[in-house]
Structure 1
Amino acid sequence: MSDLSTWLTGLFGRTPADLAPYARALTHGSQAVETYERLEFLGDRVLGLIVAEWLYETFGDEPEGQLSKRFNALVTGAVCAEIAREVGVPVHLRLGKQARDDGASNSDNVLGDVMEALIGAWYREAGLDAARAFVRARWGDRVKKGGKAPQHPKSALQEWAASHNRRPPEYAIIERSGPHHAPRFTVAVTIGKQAEAQATGASKQEAETAAAKALLAKLEG
Protein backbone atom coordinates (compact mmCIF):
# COMPACT_ATOMS: atom_id res chain seq x y z
CA MET A 1 0.00 0.00 0.00
CA SER A 2 1.38 3.42 -0.94
CA ASP A 3 2.08 6.11 1.63
CA LEU A 4 -0.85 8.13 0.31
CA SER A 5 -3.19 5.14 0.49
CA THR A 6 -2.06 4.31 4.03
CA TRP A 7 -2.55 7.89 5.18
CA LEU A 8 -6.00 8.19 3.58
CA THR A 9 -7.07 4.90 5.14
CA GLY A 10 -6.14 6.27 8.55
CA LEU A 11 -7.79 9.60 7.82
CA PHE A 12 -11.14 8.31 6.57
CA GLY A 13 -11.30 4.88 8.23
CA ARG A 14 -11.19 2.86 5.02
CA THR A 15 -9.10 2.62 1.89
CA PRO A 16 -10.47 4.82 -0.92
CA ALA A 17 -11.63 2.96 -4.00
CA ASP A 18 -9.76 5.38 -6.27
CA LEU A 19 -6.76 7.42 -5.14
CA ALA A 20 -6.89 9.82 -8.11
CA PRO A 21 -9.43 12.33 -6.68
CA TYR A 22 -7.49 12.53 -3.43
CA ALA A 23 -4.20 13.03 -5.24
CA ARG A 24 -5.87 15.85 -7.15
CA ALA A 25 -7.20 17.31 -3.89
CA LEU A 26 -3.59 17.55 -2.70
CA THR A 27 -2.23 19.07 -5.92
CA HIS A 28 -1.37 22.76 -6.12
CA GLY A 29 -1.37 24.77 -9.34
CA SER A 30 2.43 24.99 -9.24
CA GLN A 31 2.63 21.23 -9.74
CA ALA A 32 0.00 20.35 -12.36
CA VAL A 33 -2.87 21.68 -14.44
CA GLU A 34 -5.44 19.51 -12.62
CA THR A 35 -5.51 21.03 -9.14
CA TYR A 36 -7.58 20.94 -5.97
CA GLU A 37 -9.70 23.94 -6.99
CA ARG A 38 -12.81 22.17 -8.33
CA LEU A 39 -12.91 19.75 -5.38
CA GLU A 40 -12.35 22.67 -3.01
CA PHE A 41 -15.39 24.42 -4.54
CA LEU A 42 -17.49 21.34 -3.78
CA GLY A 43 -15.99 20.62 -0.37
CA ASP A 44 -16.58 24.19 0.78
CA ARG A 45 -20.32 23.76 0.19
CA VAL A 46 -20.42 20.31 1.79
CA LEU A 47 -18.60 21.60 4.87
CA GLY A 48 -20.96 24.57 5.08
CA LEU A 49 -24.05 22.35 4.96
CA ILE A 50 -22.70 19.94 7.58
CA VAL A 51 -21.65 22.67 10.01
CA ALA A 52 -24.92 24.61 9.54
CA GLU A 53 -26.95 21.46 10.22
CA TRP A 54 -24.77 20.61 13.23
CA LEU A 55 -25.22 24.06 14.76
CA TYR A 56 -28.96 24.01 14.07
CA GLU A 57 -29.26 20.74 16.02
CA THR A 58 -26.86 21.68 18.83
CA PHE A 59 -28.10 25.17 19.66
CA GLY A 60 -31.86 24.75 19.35
CA ASP A 61 -32.75 27.98 21.15
CA GLU A 62 -30.39 30.37 19.38
CA PRO A 63 -31.58 32.83 16.72
CA GLU A 64 -30.15 32.94 13.23
CA GLY A 65 -27.73 35.76 14.06
CA GLN A 66 -26.04 33.78 16.82
CA LEU A 67 -25.86 30.67 14.66
CA SER A 68 -24.26 32.72 11.89
CA LYS A 69 -21.57 33.94 14.26
CA ARG A 70 -20.77 30.38 15.27
CA PHE A 71 -20.83 29.23 11.64
CA ASN A 72 -18.47 31.96 10.46
CA ALA A 73 -16.01 31.10 13.22
CA LEU A 74 -15.94 27.40 12.29
CA VAL A 75 -15.57 27.39 8.50
CA THR A 76 -12.79 29.94 8.09
CA GLY A 77 -9.69 29.09 6.10
CA ALA A 78 -7.65 29.37 9.29
CA VAL A 79 -9.71 26.66 11.03
CA CYS A 80 -9.58 24.39 7.97
CA ALA A 81 -5.80 24.92 7.81
CA GLU A 82 -5.47 24.13 11.51
CA ILE A 83 -7.29 20.83 11.00
CA ALA A 84 -5.21 20.10 7.90
CA ARG A 85 -2.06 20.40 10.02
CA GLU A 86 -3.56 18.20 12.74
CA VAL A 87 -4.24 15.35 10.28
CA GLY A 88 -0.89 15.61 8.48
CA VAL A 89 -1.84 17.23 5.19
CA PRO A 90 1.40 19.26 4.69
CA VAL A 91 3.67 16.26 4.03
CA HIS A 92 1.30 14.97 1.34
CA LEU A 93 0.91 18.23 -0.60
CA ARG A 94 1.97 18.14 -4.23
CA LEU A 95 3.77 21.40 -4.85
CA GLY A 96 6.17 22.74 -7.42
CA LYS A 97 9.67 23.50 -6.16
CA GLN A 98 9.19 27.27 -6.14
CA ALA A 99 5.92 27.03 -4.24
CA ARG A 100 7.50 24.72 -1.69
CA ASP A 101 10.49 27.03 -1.33
CA ASP A 102 8.09 29.94 -0.82
CA GLY A 103 6.42 28.16 2.10
CA ALA A 104 3.16 27.10 0.45
CA SER A 105 3.15 23.90 2.54
CA ASN A 106 2.46 26.05 5.60
CA SER A 107 0.13 28.57 3.95
CA ASP A 108 -3.30 28.86 5.59
CA ASN A 109 -4.76 29.63 2.15
CA VAL A 110 -3.35 26.46 0.58
CA LEU A 111 -3.96 24.15 3.54
CA GLY A 112 -7.49 25.43 4.08
CA ASP A 113 -8.39 24.92 0.42
CA VAL A 114 -6.85 21.43 0.38
CA MET A 115 -8.77 20.41 3.49
CA GLU A 116 -12.01 21.40 1.77
CA ALA A 117 -10.93 19.58 -1.40
CA LEU A 118 -10.36 16.39 0.59
CA ILE A 119 -13.85 16.73 2.08
CA GLY A 120 -15.18 17.15 -1.45
CA ALA A 121 -13.38 14.02 -2.65
CA TRP A 122 -14.62 11.98 0.31
CA TYR A 123 -18.18 13.22 -0.21
CA ARG A 124 -18.04 12.23 -3.87
CA GLU A 125 -16.94 8.72 -2.99
CA ALA A 126 -18.72 7.93 0.26
CA GLY A 127 -21.73 10.27 0.39
CA LEU A 128 -23.09 12.84 2.81
CA ASP A 129 -23.36 10.59 5.87
CA ALA A 130 -19.68 9.66 5.65
CA ALA A 131 -18.67 13.28 5.04
CA ARG A 132 -20.75 14.33 8.04
CA ALA A 133 -19.09 11.73 10.26
CA PHE A 134 -15.65 12.88 9.13
CA VAL A 135 -16.32 16.59 9.73
CA ARG A 136 -17.90 16.00 13.12
CA ALA A 137 -14.94 13.86 14.20
CA ARG A 138 -12.33 16.38 13.03
CA TRP A 139 -14.07 19.60 14.10
CA GLY A 140 -15.09 17.93 17.38
CA ASP A 141 -15.17 20.17 20.45
CA ARG A 142 -14.72 23.33 18.38
CA VAL A 143 -18.48 23.47 17.88
CA LYS A 144 -19.35 23.68 21.58
CA LYS A 145 -16.25 25.50 22.76
CA GLY A 146 -16.78 28.85 24.41
CA GLY A 147 -20.50 28.54 25.25
CA LYS A 148 -21.61 31.94 23.98
CA ALA A 149 -21.49 32.51 20.24
CA PRO A 150 -18.27 34.33 19.38
CA GLN A 151 -18.50 37.91 18.20
CA HIS A 152 -16.56 38.53 15.01
CA PRO A 153 -13.98 41.31 15.61
CA LYS A 154 -15.23 43.37 12.65
CA SER A 155 -18.81 43.24 13.93
CA ALA A 156 -17.67 44.05 17.45
CA LEU A 157 -15.68 47.04 16.22
CA GLN A 158 -18.63 48.34 14.22
CA GLU A 159 -20.86 48.01 17.29
CA TRP A 160 -18.27 49.85 19.41
CA ALA A 161 -18.19 52.72 16.91
CA ALA A 162 -21.98 52.97 16.82
CA SER A 163 -22.33 52.86 20.60
CA HIS A 164 -19.75 55.65 20.97
CA ASN A 165 -21.26 57.82 18.22
CA ARG A 166 -18.19 57.40 16.01
CA ARG A 167 -17.92 56.97 12.28
CA PRO A 168 -18.02 53.36 11.00
CA PRO A 169 -14.62 51.63 10.70
CA GLU A 170 -12.84 52.04 7.38
CA TYR A 171 -10.40 49.43 6.03
CA ALA A 172 -7.62 49.99 3.52
CA ILE A 173 -4.95 47.69 2.08
CA ILE A 174 -1.55 49.20 2.88
CA GLU A 175 0.61 46.54 1.23
CA ARG A 176 0.34 43.29 -0.69
CA SER A 177 3.41 41.09 -0.83
CA GLY A 178 4.46 37.48 -1.39
CA PRO A 179 3.89 35.09 -4.32
CA HIS A 180 0.46 34.41 -5.79
CA HIS A 181 -0.03 31.16 -3.88
CA ALA A 182 1.03 32.62 -0.52
CA PRO A 183 0.15 36.33 -0.47
CA ARG A 184 0.44 38.60 2.54
CA PHE A 185 -1.90 41.56 3.03
CA THR A 186 -1.31 44.45 5.41
CA VAL A 187 -4.50 46.30 6.26
CA ALA A 188 -5.14 49.45 8.28
CA VAL A 189 -8.44 50.10 10.00
CA THR A 190 -9.43 53.55 11.18
CA ILE A 191 -12.30 55.14 13.07
CA GLY A 192 -12.24 58.82 12.30
CA LYS A 193 -8.82 60.45 12.47
CA GLN A 194 -7.69 59.27 15.89
CA ALA A 195 -8.10 55.50 16.25
CA GLU A 196 -6.03 53.28 13.95
CA ALA A 197 -4.47 49.82 13.90
CA GLN A 198 -2.71 47.66 11.32
CA ALA A 199 -2.35 43.91 10.88
CA THR A 200 -1.09 41.41 8.33
CA GLY A 201 -2.72 38.19 7.15
CA ALA A 202 -2.75 35.58 4.41
CA SER A 203 -5.91 37.09 2.92
CA LYS A 204 -7.59 40.50 2.89
CA GLN A 205 -10.33 39.17 5.17
CA GLU A 206 -7.85 37.67 7.62
CA ALA A 207 -5.86 40.92 7.78
CA GLU A 208 -9.02 43.00 8.28
CA THR A 209 -10.15 40.70 11.09
CA ALA A 210 -6.77 40.92 12.81
CA ALA A 211 -6.69 44.71 12.42
CA ALA A 212 -10.19 45.03 13.90
CA LYS A 213 -9.16 42.85 16.84
CA ALA A 214 -6.04 44.97 17.41
CA LEU A 215 -8.01 48.24 17.31
CA LEU A 216 -10.62 46.87 19.71
CA ALA A 217 -7.85 45.95 22.14
CA LYS A 218 -6.55 49.54 21.94
CA LEU A 219 -9.97 51.10 22.41
CA GLU A 220 -11.05 48.83 25.27
CA GLY A 221 -7.63 48.56 26.91
Structure 2
Amino acid sequence: MNNSYLQLLRPYHILPKNPDLYLEALTHSSYANEENLGKDYQRLEFMGDAVFQIVSADMIFKKYPFMQEGEMTKLRIKLVQEVSLAQLGRHIKINTYMRLGHGEEKSHGRDKDSLIADCVEAFLGAIYIDHGFKVAKKVALSWLNWIFKDLPDLEVNDYKSQLQELIQSDSREPLRYVEIKSLGSDNNKTFYFKVVHNGIELGRGKGKTKKEAEQFAAKEALLKVAK
Protein backbone atom coordinates (compact mmCIF):
# COMPACT_ATOMS: atom_id res chain seq x y z
CA MET A 1 0.00 0.00 0.00
CA ASN A 2 1.30 3.46 -0.87
CA ASN A 3 0.81 6.49 1.35
CA SER A 4 -2.69 7.18 0.01
CA TYR A 5 -4.14 6.32 3.43
CA LEU A 6 -2.59 9.52 4.76
CA GLN A 7 -5.34 11.38 2.88
CA LEU A 8 -7.45 10.63 5.93
CA LEU A 9 -5.39 13.27 7.76
CA ARG A 10 -5.69 16.05 5.19
CA PRO A 11 -9.05 17.50 6.31
CA TYR A 12 -7.46 18.21 9.69
CA HIS A 13 -4.20 19.64 8.28
CA ILE A 14 -2.13 17.01 10.08
CA LEU A 15 1.34 16.13 8.85
CA PRO A 16 2.37 12.70 10.17
CA LYS A 17 5.56 12.48 12.16
CA ASN A 18 5.45 8.68 12.08
CA PRO A 19 3.47 7.44 9.04
CA ASP A 20 3.90 3.82 10.12
CA LEU A 21 1.62 4.44 13.10
CA TYR A 22 -1.31 5.19 10.80
CA LEU A 23 -0.61 2.13 8.69
CA GLU A 24 -0.59 0.05 11.86
CA ALA A 25 -3.96 1.58 12.80
CA LEU A 26 -5.42 0.16 9.58
CA THR A 27 -3.92 -3.32 9.96
CA HIS A 28 -6.22 -6.14 11.06
CA SER A 29 -4.75 -9.11 12.92
CA SER A 30 -5.55 -11.40 9.96
CA TYR A 31 -3.29 -9.34 7.69
CA ALA A 32 -0.59 -9.03 10.34
CA ASN A 33 -0.56 -12.82 10.78
CA GLU A 34 -0.37 -13.51 7.06
CA GLU A 35 2.46 -11.03 6.56
CA ASN A 36 4.28 -11.86 9.83
CA LEU A 37 4.19 -8.22 10.86
CA GLY A 38 3.89 -8.73 14.59
CA LYS A 39 1.69 -5.64 14.96
CA ASP A 40 -1.97 -4.91 14.30
CA TYR A 41 -4.33 -2.11 15.30
CA GLN A 42 -5.41 -3.45 18.69
CA ARG A 43 -3.06 -1.43 20.91
CA LEU A 44 -3.86 1.78 19.04
CA GLU A 45 -7.56 0.93 19.23
CA PHE A 46 -7.20 0.84 23.01
CA MET A 47 -5.74 4.36 23.00
CA GLY A 48 -8.32 5.72 20.58
CA ASP A 49 -11.17 4.33 22.66
CA ALA A 50 -9.78 6.15 25.71
CA VAL A 51 -9.57 9.44 23.78
CA PHE A 52 -13.14 9.06 22.50
CA GLN A 53 -14.40 8.38 26.01
CA ILE A 54 -12.92 11.50 27.61
CA VAL A 55 -13.64 13.82 24.65
CA SER A 56 -17.26 12.66 24.31
CA ALA A 57 -17.81 12.98 28.06
CA ASP A 58 -16.35 16.51 28.05
CA MET A 59 -18.43 17.44 25.00
CA ILE A 60 -21.70 16.26 26.56
CA PHE A 61 -20.88 17.85 29.93
CA LYS A 62 -20.41 21.25 28.26
CA LYS A 63 -23.18 20.93 25.66
CA TYR A 64 -25.85 19.93 28.19
CA PRO A 65 -25.03 21.70 31.48
CA PHE A 66 -28.27 20.63 33.15
CA MET A 67 -28.38 17.00 32.00
CA GLN A 68 -28.29 14.40 34.76
CA GLU A 69 -25.43 11.91 35.09
CA GLY A 70 -27.48 8.90 33.97
CA GLU A 71 -28.62 10.64 30.80
CA MET A 72 -25.10 11.84 30.04
CA THR A 73 -23.85 8.26 30.32
CA LYS A 74 -26.54 6.97 27.96
CA LEU A 75 -25.78 9.67 25.40
CA ARG A 76 -22.02 9.03 25.58
CA ILE A 77 -22.59 5.32 25.00
CA LYS A 78 -24.74 6.08 21.95
CA LEU A 79 -22.17 8.50 20.56
CA VAL A 80 -19.26 6.06 20.61
CA GLN A 81 -21.12 2.80 20.11
CA GLU A 82 -19.99 0.47 17.35
CA VAL A 83 -22.72 1.38 14.86
CA SER A 84 -22.06 5.12 15.26
CA LEU A 85 -18.32 4.78 14.73
CA ALA A 86 -18.89 2.43 11.79
CA GLN A 87 -21.15 5.01 10.13
CA LEU A 88 -18.45 7.60 10.71
CA GLY A 89 -15.82 5.25 9.30
CA ARG A 90 -17.79 4.80 6.10
CA HIS A 91 -18.28 8.56 5.88
CA ILE A 92 -14.53 9.23 6.02
CA LYS A 93 -13.92 6.11 3.88
CA ILE A 94 -11.51 4.54 6.35
CA ASN A 95 -12.74 1.08 5.32
CA THR A 96 -11.23 1.52 1.87
CA TYR A 97 -7.76 1.66 3.45
CA MET A 98 -8.05 -1.24 5.91
CA ARG A 99 -5.48 -4.02 5.53
CA LEU A 100 -7.25 -7.37 5.84
CA GLY A 101 -6.13 -10.96 5.44
CA HIS A 102 -7.47 -13.00 2.52
CA GLY A 103 -10.02 -14.84 4.66
CA GLU A 104 -11.33 -11.65 6.25
CA GLU A 105 -11.52 -9.98 2.86
CA LYS A 106 -13.53 -12.87 1.42
CA SER A 107 -15.95 -12.77 4.36
CA HIS A 108 -16.69 -9.09 3.60
CA GLY A 109 -14.69 -7.80 6.54
CA ARG A 110 -14.40 -4.43 4.84
CA ASP A 111 -18.14 -3.96 5.41
CA LYS A 112 -18.28 -5.20 9.02
CA ASP A 113 -19.29 -2.57 11.55
CA SER A 114 -17.00 -4.04 14.19
CA LEU A 115 -13.85 -3.82 12.06
CA ILE A 116 -14.62 -0.34 10.74
CA ALA A 117 -15.31 0.97 14.25
CA ASP A 118 -12.09 -0.62 15.51
CA CYS A 119 -10.08 1.12 12.79
CA VAL A 120 -11.68 4.49 13.55
CA GLU A 121 -10.63 4.15 17.19
CA ALA A 122 -7.17 2.92 16.22
CA PHE A 123 -6.65 5.79 13.78
CA LEU A 124 -7.58 8.28 16.50
CA GLY A 125 -5.16 6.45 18.78
CA ALA A 126 -2.43 6.88 16.18
CA ILE A 127 -3.13 10.61 16.00
CA TYR A 128 -2.87 10.80 19.79
CA ILE A 129 0.44 8.92 19.90
CA ASP A 130 1.85 10.92 16.97
CA HIS A 131 0.65 14.42 17.91
CA GLY A 132 -0.68 14.37 21.46
CA PHE A 133 -4.04 14.98 23.07
CA LYS A 134 -4.70 18.50 21.75
CA VAL A 135 -4.65 17.42 18.11
CA ALA A 136 -6.44 14.14 18.82
CA LYS A 137 -9.18 16.03 20.67
CA LYS A 138 -9.67 18.35 17.69
CA VAL A 139 -10.18 15.39 15.36
CA ALA A 140 -12.38 13.52 17.85
CA LEU A 141 -14.63 16.57 18.26
CA SER A 142 -14.97 16.90 14.50
CA TRP A 143 -16.00 13.26 14.24
CA LEU A 144 -18.37 13.40 17.21
CA ASN A 145 -20.06 16.52 15.85
CA TRP A 146 -20.64 14.66 12.58
CA ILE A 147 -22.25 11.80 14.51
CA PHE A 148 -24.48 14.27 16.36
CA LYS A 149 -25.50 15.97 13.12
CA ASP A 150 -25.99 13.02 10.80
CA LEU A 151 -27.28 10.26 13.07
CA PRO A 152 -30.73 11.49 14.15
CA ASP A 153 -31.35 8.61 16.57
CA LEU A 154 -28.88 10.31 18.91
CA GLU A 155 -31.19 13.22 19.63
CA VAL A 156 -31.61 14.00 23.31
CA ASN A 157 -34.92 12.77 24.72
CA ASP A 158 -37.81 14.89 23.43
CA TYR A 159 -39.62 15.49 26.70
CA LYS A 160 -41.93 18.08 25.13
CA SER A 161 -43.36 15.54 22.70
CA GLN A 162 -43.77 12.96 25.47
CA LEU A 163 -45.60 15.47 27.66
CA GLN A 164 -47.77 16.62 24.76
CA GLU A 165 -48.86 13.05 24.00
CA LEU A 166 -49.61 12.42 27.66
CA ILE A 167 -51.68 15.58 28.12
CA GLN A 168 -53.57 15.25 24.84
CA SER A 169 -54.73 11.78 25.80
CA ASP A 170 -56.99 13.46 28.40
CA SER A 171 -57.37 17.05 27.23
CA ARG A 172 -57.42 19.17 24.09
CA GLU A 173 -56.21 22.24 25.96
CA PRO A 174 -52.73 23.07 24.61
CA LEU A 175 -49.60 23.30 26.71
CA ARG A 176 -47.95 26.70 27.05
CA TYR A 177 -44.25 27.31 27.65
CA VAL A 178 -43.70 30.63 29.38
CA GLU A 179 -40.36 32.35 29.82
CA ILE A 180 -39.88 33.32 33.46
CA LYS A 181 -36.57 35.14 33.17
CA SER A 182 -33.11 35.04 31.65
CA LEU A 183 -29.83 35.70 33.41
CA GLY A 184 -26.30 36.36 32.22
CA SER A 185 -24.60 38.10 29.32
CA ASP A 186 -25.62 37.63 25.70
CA ASN A 187 -22.79 35.14 25.20
CA ASN A 188 -23.54 33.15 28.35
CA LYS A 189 -27.24 33.42 29.07
CA THR A 190 -29.39 30.99 31.05
CA PHE A 191 -33.12 30.85 30.32
CA TYR A 192 -35.83 29.87 32.81
CA PHE A 193 -39.17 28.51 31.56
CA LYS A 194 -42.31 26.98 33.00
CA VAL A 195 -44.87 24.76 31.30
CA VAL A 196 -48.52 25.53 32.00
CA HIS A 197 -51.73 23.61 31.28
CA ASN A 198 -55.22 24.92 32.04
CA GLY A 199 -53.64 27.69 34.11
CA ILE A 200 -51.74 25.19 36.26
CA GLU A 201 -47.95 25.16 36.34
CA LEU A 202 -46.69 21.64 35.67
CA GLY A 203 -42.94 22.12 35.78
CA ARG A 204 -39.97 24.43 35.48
CA GLY A 205 -36.66 24.16 33.69
CA LYS A 206 -33.54 26.09 32.82
CA GLY A 207 -31.10 25.84 29.94
CA LYS A 208 -28.54 27.60 27.79
CA THR A 209 -31.15 27.96 25.04
CA LYS A 210 -34.89 28.54 25.19
CA LYS A 211 -35.51 25.14 23.62
CA GLU A 212 -33.35 23.41 26.21
CA ALA A 213 -35.14 25.21 29.05
CA GLU A 214 -38.52 24.16 27.63
CA GLN A 215 -37.33 20.56 27.39
CA PHE A 216 -36.28 20.49 31.03
CA ALA A 217 -39.54 22.11 32.10
CA ALA A 218 -41.37 19.32 30.27
CA LYS A 219 -39.09 16.75 31.91
CA GLU A 220 -39.93 18.04 35.39
CA ALA A 221 -43.62 17.90 34.52
CA LEU A 222 -43.28 14.28 33.37
CA LEU A 223 -41.48 13.35 36.59
CA LYS A 224 -44.27 14.89 38.67
CA VAL A 225 -46.93 13.04 36.71
CA ALA A 226 -45.04 9.76 37.14
CA LYS A 227 -45.05 10.05 40.96
Establish whether TM, by shorter chain, passes 0.5.
yes
2:147, 2:92 → 1: CA distance? 15
The residue that corresponds to 1:12 in the other structure is 12
Shift of 1:8: 3.3
Q: Which has the larger radius of gyration?
A: 2
Q: 2:45 aligns with which of 37, 40, 43?
A: 40
Q: Which runs of 5+ in 2 are unaligned?
A: 33-37, 159-227
RMSD: 1.9
Shift of 1:12: 3.4
Within a 5 Å distance, the mapping from 1:63-102 to structure 2 comes to 63-102=68-107
The residue that corresponds to 2:119 in the other structure is 114
Shift of 1:11: 4.4
Q: Give the 4+ runs in structure 1 shifted more than 2 A.
A: 141-150
TM-score (norm 1): 0.63
1:102, 1:63 → 2: CA distance? 43
The residue that corresponds to 2:213 in the other structure is none
The residue that corresponds to 1:3 in the other structure is 4
Aligned residues: 149
The residue that corresponds to 1:148 in the other structure is 156
Q: Percent identity?
A: 26
In structure 2, what residue type is equivalent to 1:148?
A: V
The residue that corresponds to 2:143 in the other structure is 138
Contact 2:21 2:130 in 1 (8 A): no
In terms of fraction of residues, the more helix-rich structure is 2
The residue that corresponds to 1:30 in the other structure is 30
The residue that corresponds to 1:55 in the other structure is 60
TM-score (norm 2): 0.61
Shift of 1:15: 2.1
Contact 1:43 1:118 in 2 (8 A): yes
Q: Which runs of 5+ in 1 are unaligned?
A: 151-221
